Amino acid sequence: MQDKEKYMKEALKEAKKAYEKLEIPVGAVIVKDGKIIARAHNIKEEKNDTTKHAEMLAISKASKKLQNWRLIDCEMYVTLEPCAMCAGALIHSRMKKVYIGTMDEKTGACGSKLNLLKDFTFNHKVELETGILQEQCEELLKQFFKKLREEKH
């Protein structure tokens, strides 16, 4: 198994934790020098805080671990394409690269609705790779929303 898939599987484990809490199942891990230094999943429902996305929480944890807001030479693996808030945080944190499981056609800001990482000139460029374990990432989201619809009826 390639490292990309190994790390995305870890992000999927985080997404499943969110699923169990009835949060939108998004998970993220941050890797530096071949080691996971931070992991997180969505908790915005639990905390009633729109900023508690998996990416934002993982960035905070990695910054705390490294004692530096600059996450140079770090890579994020995230199961769903980041929104504009999270894409902005990737740029500001100086993340080297982000690997995305599946795209978000509704609010994605790394290629779906817009691409903050490529289409604009900022002081830092974040590399981007998509489609890592895409089917597994999509399936978890589909199961989640199907379950929500069933519970509402």
Residue positions annotated with a catalytic role: 55
Answer yes or no: are the C-beta atoms of 15 and 21 closer than 8 Å: no
Q: Which two tokens stand for residue 43?
A: 């908790």
Give the sign of the dihedral formed by CA 81, CA 84, CA 89, CA 91. Answer: positive
Taking the C-alpha atoms of residue 23 and residue 98, their distance in angstroms, rounded to an integer, is: 22
Taking the C-alpha atoms of residue 146 and residue 32, their distance in angstroms, rounded to an integer, is: 35
